[in-house]
Structure formats: structure tokens, C-alpha cells
Amino acid sequence: MIILKFFIVVLILIKIYYVAKKRWCTSKVCLNGKTVLVTGANTGIGYETALEFAKRGARVILACRDLKKAAEAKDKIISLTENKNVVVKELNLASLKSVKKIALDIIENEERLDILVNNAGVGAINNKMTEDGLQIQMQINYFAPVLLTIYLVDLLRRTGNSRIINVSSCLAYFANVTADTINKYGESPVKTYSNSKLGNIIFTRKLASLLKGSTVSVYSLHPGEIQTDIFRHFKGWHKFVLFIVKTSYFKTPEEGAQTTLYTALEQGLEKYSGHFFIECQKRPFYKTATDDSLNEEVWQATVKLLDCEKEVEKLFPKIS
């Protein structure tokens, strides 16, 4: 009986902790005349982020792999916001061809790009290599967003006062990547997920240093623990436990979008370009992301694996 009571008290305390730590993006910034692109915007955190951007008057590009789901999300956003300037573009991050295709489309057809949100991601999927010779989870969560950003940096720079947001995860705390392992399966699906999310933070730091002196800033973040389908590939008891924890403690997707919105909209954040945020606050980097020489090796290996040395050299001539 005492053990049961103790257990219930612990559960209540955890619930209080989760409720107390929630923070909201309070920015009143209007996005009339601005263009934003959100990857994985048909559901979860990405959908809520796109919805808020549309409410604020932006032209919103939903970059999604499933065009049917994306069209449904678009219709919902338009009917909720009465902002008809919402468009769908196809993006499958598991294919670098698809990344290039959407980037060329944006460069050719969009006059500006004010906010790029690299939000799409997969949690804990089985190991395999893509047609591009990259580990699938590392490609979807890390390599492809890096390439998409590299393709779009010039447009972001020409637009000016623009921002790039990389949605990472607290699981980056448990990661370890090196130049040799960045394209490898990391012992388990969850470890591979952690490694990809550490990649997001390392990339954000590197990109901020490359963009120093420009008016483009870049941020990474952990959105919190959110009731979405990110771990839809879990099976058996993992799935059951996750369901219980998720429904009892996790935040709603709308709450989960707040740190993304904060880093995209809050005025005066430029001095923190490259930094990592949780609950709408700048936080110290996880130890796993602080080894500068290791990070540089990972970056060089990434550029090589993506075969984009020339693009990077052209974009950042002094540094690379």
C-alpha cells in the first residue's frame, strides 16, 4: 500500500513538473508579405507551426512527402485561418533527388524565403540504406535537411533578416557521432535517431559560424515530449508503454510547436544564432555537441557524403 501511494505521488509530481515547465511563444510578429517553408507540415509539430504562420499572414509552403495528407492539411489551414496563400510542394527526404527538385522549384518560383523550418523527421525506423547510399534515418533527419538548407541559403541570404530552424531532440544527449559513424546505423533504431538529432545541433552550430556577418540566423531546439506519431514504428510493449506515458504526460502538438515558433519569430534572437533552445529559452549545449574539432570532422564528412563541396565553397568562399 505504501509503495502504491509513493508511486502515485511520484506520478503526480511528474505531471506537475510537466505542466509547470510549459512555455508559450508570446511574439506578436506579423508575417504579412513573408514566405515560410515547413517540412513535414501535414501533421504533428510541423502542422501546428504552419498553422500559426498562416494565422500571422505568411505565404506558407507545406513541404511534405504524402501529397494527399498535405492537401488535407492545406485545406484545414486555409479554412481555419482564411489565409489562402498556403501551398503544397512535394518533398521526400529519403531521396536527395526530391530535395534538389523542391529546392530548384523554390529558387525558381519564390521571390523570397524568410523562414525555413527543418521539422520533418522519423523516429526509430529499421536500418537500411537509401538510393543515395545513406543510412535511411540519418538521411531523413540529418543529411537531407542539411542539403535542403545549403540549396536554399542563397535565397535566404538575398531575402535578408531570415531564419533557419532545425528541430532536434533531447535524445541528442545520448548520441555520439564521428566522421566515421555519421553514415552508420547506431546500434539500435533509437540510438540512430539520437545520432541524427545530434547531427541537427552540430549542423546548426557550424552553419551559424559560416553565416556570421550575414543577416541569416539559425537555431536548433528540443520541442519537448509531444503527443505525435513520431514513434509510430514502435512495436509490442514499447508501443504500449509509450502510449500510456504519451497520453498522461506529453504536451499537445500545439504546445510542441511553441519553441519552433519562438526561435522563428522572437525579436532580438540573432545574437544567439547557432544556439540550442528548449521551452522558449536558450539552453546550454549537450556535452555531446561541444567538441569543436569533432564537430568540424563530422561537418567535413557530411559535405563529402552529400557531394556538395563545390556548393559549400561557392556559398562560403572565405571559410571553406
Ligand X SMILES: NC(=O)c1ccc[n+]([C@@H]2O[C@H](COP(=O)([O-])OP(=O)(O)OC[C@H]3O[C@@H](n4cnc5c(N)ncnc54)[C@H](OP(=O)(O)O)[C@@H]3O)[C@@H](O)[C@H]2O)c1
Binding-site member from 31, 36, 38, 44 for ligand X (CB under 6 A) = 44
Q: Which helix (H) or strand (E) holds 39?
A: strand 35-39
How many angstroms separate the Cα of 266 from the Cα of each of 11, 65, 76, 263?
Answer: 34, 29, 26, 6
The nearest distance, CB 175 to ligand X, in angstroms, is 13
Quote the radius of gyration of the chain (alpha carbons, Å).
19
Measured distance CA(290)–CA(74) in Å, rounded: 39
Phi and psi for 101 in degrees, rounded to 5? Answer: -60, -50
Confirm whether 193 is a catalytic residue: yes
b/e per residue, 188-203, with b = 16+ CB within 10 A? ebbbbbbbbbbbbbbb
Binding-site member from 36, 134, 175, 226 for ligand X (CB under 6 A) = 226
Catalytic member of 151, 193, 219, 262: 193
96 touches ligand X by CB under 6 A: no
Query: Looking at 29-37, 205-213, 228-236, 268-276, which segment touches ligand X (CB under 6 A)?
Result: 228-236
Residues contacting residue 95 through CB under 8 Å, at least 6 positions apart: 130, 131, 132
Binding-site member from 81, 204, 220, 228 for ligand X (CB under 6 A) = 228
CB atoms inside a 10 Å sphere around CB 76: 14
The nearest distance, CB 168 to ligand X, in angstroms, is 7
222 touches ligand X by CB under 6 A: yes
Query: Looking at 119-127, 153-161, 267-275, 283-291, which segment touches ligand X (CB under 6 A)?
Result: 119-127
Binding-site member from 34, 56, 59, 65 for ligand X (CB under 6 A) = 65
In this structure, are residues 55 and 313 in contact, taking their beta carbons and an 8 Å threshold? no
Site string for ligand X, 134-173 (x = CB under 6 A): ------x--------------------------x-x----
Grid coordinates given for 31: 508575417
Binding-site ranges for ligand X (CB under 6 A): 40, 42-46, 64-66, 69, 91-94, 119-122, 140, 167, 169, 222-223, 225-226, 228-230
Active site (catalytic) residues: 193
